[in-house]
Structure 1
Amino acid sequence: MRHILPLILTLTLLLTPSLALAAQDQPSADSLKIAVWPEYDRPEALVIYLLRLDPASSLPARIRLPIPASAGGPHAVAAWHPDGSLDDSVTWERVVEGEWAWIEVEVETTGVWLEYYAALEVEGQVRSMTVRWPGGLDIDDLQFEIMHPLGSEGLQVSPSGETVLGEDGQTYTRSEMGARSAGEGAELAFTYSKKGPWLAEPLTSPIVGQALAWLEAAIWPEYDQPEALVIYRAQLPPETSLPTQVTLPIPAEAGEPHAVAIVGSDRNLYLAEYERTQIGEWAWITLMADSPLLQVEYYLPLAREGTTRSFNFLWPGGIDLDEFGYEIQHPPGVQGLRVTPAGAVRVGEDGITYSWAALGPKTAADMVTVAFDYAKDNDTLTVNTVITPPSLQRPESTLGGTPDLAALMPYLLGGLGLLLIGAGVAVYLRMRGEPAPARRRRPRRRAQRLASDEIAPVYCHVCGTQASASDRFCRRCGTQLRR
């Protein structure tokens, strides 16, 4: 027995995985940046590994990177080329060893890009997180970078770092950790406070299996009230039988929705009856839709600090979406509006600037966050902004000359004769006592809502993406739509 125990102990040590052993046969890293973007596009933290191998590394190289096993699978794994481009066609495997999952990937270049989501700890308005690097790789330069969430206050990082303004206009705190061997780990903790809705788990729709072809959240801050007007523009799947019951979630603090409507085939909005059912901090707005296009509007307050306004939007999930997007209206005169996740910027036909993005399909289990902030030193509402029309360009001289009365005399005399004849006829009829025939007025018909099956979908003539009734530009490529 005394001879067997050392043998068992030796075998146990050999078979037990360790982070140091995981580094065997791995190339060393020139640098690793661990970027953490809390509440970037979800009510979680997006963690990104940006790894650069030693330039002398043999290629192709096989890399093993650790992520928490609780994170599930990575959100993205890609080869990161020296020019900054990404190639997500790489193959990878996930191997769980205790509380860590190793992502094994083979690349033909010297860079690896890996993303995963991790949970934040939330207590009231305070969010916190500890990010750990367990080792397993020789690194010449390790750096943590924390993006400050828009609308957040008092972000603190330990160990402390340098706070800088990035080229994208976002604020970051960067902590240099120096060189790390495969047997050395590192960790960084941060905390901040932020107002706005929060959910740990997605909502469950009262209508089982509900789905939408697309949903756009249009947010117009300080449009006609000193708050944010939130507009859901939704379209039902083309195979939906009408009429059908539809329900959409809004924050309970919004109270009753400002408007619930369907879009008729004439592109006008028609108010619809609805029911509001509150469950916790959310309310479900349910209506019977006889059109595939519908719209729900509500107001929420903006967060204000001095001249800075900020807003945090949360889509709570619960509905399968083939496409989700957002639109942010820029109040006139505002400079430097920042949005996460970032999108494109365009000027609408109304002369107002909008930020917008198509964020792809979302399942009922997916939650989405959109945040923005801007500085504004007045309380002017967008609806009260007067857009001066272009001035008329008048010619300096009038074309033509003074008319020749002699040439027009025959026409004038002829017109006078016709007037005299008409007057004589009128006198004759009155003398006979015969009333003039009355003009029959056709009754005016009230505008009727057109049948929902007459609605003709609008498609972009460039990329073929289907547009909503109120869209003026393609939500995917930005081309002005033809009506």
Structure 2
Amino acid sequence: MRREVFLALLLGSALGLAQQIPAVIERLEISLWPEYDDPRLLVIYRGELAEDPKNPLAFALPNTAQVHAVAYMGPAGTLLTAEWQLLPSENGQIVLFTPKSRRFQLEYYDDVLGTSPERAFVFRFVSDRYEIRDLEIEVQQPLRAQGLQGGPALEPRGADTRGFSYFGRRVGAVAPGTLVEQRVSYRKTDALPSLRPAAQLSLVWIGVGAGLGLIALGIAGFLWFRRRRAVSPANVSAQFCARCGYRFRADEQFCPQCGQRRAM
């Protein structure tokens, strides 16, 4: 009981601070990338505030969501990690963070996809606290998937150099408290994400002295690691395009969407 009261007070205090001066979001793009590098749905918010931030931003997330990264645009035009908190709410979770500039980015995974070949999910977004002057939704069709459809309807937005096809729709202005829904369906016969975690072979050589010299005996060990590293100030600027927010692949030096050179 005491813990519940404490959490309620903490949540109320944090949200009260976030609501002191209601922020206006000039532009928000929500990208929905199912089965990108994980079997779950990757959701990316790329936003720009109308004014410099004065208080924390708060966004409601479902209980099934796992925050992956929170960042803001630094003075050098690169994305930097922002500190964030995740608090329980009555209907899910709330992520709180204070960007140090007008442009921000939030990423989370949501476990909403099944394993049936006929995949479908419904994305729901409510901006309880903020006016959004221009909202766009982008959907990436997974590799090896077919027949992506949306409700409301999505328009084709072309493809990138990696073979991903994109669809989207412009929602426009959204008043605080308005529910925005996007239904997505497609067909995919395998359960593997589009980009698989890479396997790295590590060789450890053991020298054995015998007679004329050293005989090397190789012992091979496979070390699995996540292709997407945890975001830190040192690597987040190299992970995203400074101009458009595109997430670079390990072997890409220039952004395939806008041509910006990758920060190293």
**TM-score, length of structure 2 as denominator length:** 0.67
Instruction: Name the CA distance, whole Å, in 2 between partners of 1:163 and 1:53.
Output: 27
Give deviations 1:43-87, integer Å, cap 9, x for gaps. 111100111101xx2444421122213214x10011135875211
Partner of residue 151 from structure 1, selected from 144, 164, 171:
144
Q: List aligned pairs for 1:132-147, cutoff 5 A.
A: 132-136=124-128, 137-147=130-140
**Structure 2 vs 1, CA of residues 25 and 150 (structure 1 numbering), >3 Å: closer, same or farther?**
same
Give deviations 1:117-170, integer Å, cap 9, x for gaps. 012332521211111102212101111110011110110111112111155553
Residue type of the alignment partner of 1:172: Y
Instruction: Name the CA distance, whole Å, in 1 between partners of 2:52 and 2:226.
Output: 42
Residues 1:25 and 2:21 aligned together: yes
1:26·1:63 contact (CA, 8 Å) conserved in 2?
no
Larger Rg: 1
Any unmatched runs of 5+ in structure 2? 1-10, 205-214, 228-246, 254-263
Which position in structure 2 is the counterpart of 1:235?
202
Residue type of the alignment partner of 1:92: W
Number of residue equivalences: 210
2:40·2:113 contact (CA, 8 Å) conserved in 1?
no
Residues 1:342 and 2:261 aligned together: no
Instruction: Name the CA distance, whole Å, in 2 between partners of 1:58 and 1:234.
Output: 47
Give deviations 1:257-307, integer Å, cap 9, x for gaps. xxxxxxx947xxxxxxxxxxxxxxxxxxxxxxxx53158xxxxxxxxxxxx
Percent sequence identity is 25
**Structure 2 vs 1, CA of residues 83 and 52 (structure 1 numbering), >3 Å: closer, same or farther?**
farther
1:68·1:100 contact (CA, 8 Å) conserved in 2?
yes
SS in 2 for 1:34: strand
SS in 1 for 2:64: helix
Which position in structure 1 is the counterpart of 2:56?
62
**Structure 2 vs 1, CA of residues 75 and 123 (structure 1 numbering), >3 Å: closer, same or farther?**
closer
Which position in structure 1 is the counterpart of 2:236?
none
Instruction: Name the CA distance, whole Å, in 1 between partners of 2:93 and 2:147.
Output: 33
Instruction: Name the CA distance, whole Å, in 2 between partners of 1:163 and 1:31.
Output: 21
Give deviations 1:11-56, integer Å, cap 9, x for gaps. xxxxx97xx98755331100111101111101111100111101xx
> Which has the larger share of strand?
2
**Structure 2 vs 1, CA of residues 98 and 194 (structure 1 numbering), >3 Å: closer, same or farther?**
same
Q: List aligned pairs for 1:370-381, cutoff 5 A.
A: none
Instruction: Name the CA distance, whole Å, in 2 between partners of 1:185 and 1:34.
Output: 14
Instruction: Name the CA distance, whole Å, in 1 between partners of 2:83 and 2:43.
Output: 20
2:145·2:188 contact (CA, 8 Å) conserved in 1?
yes
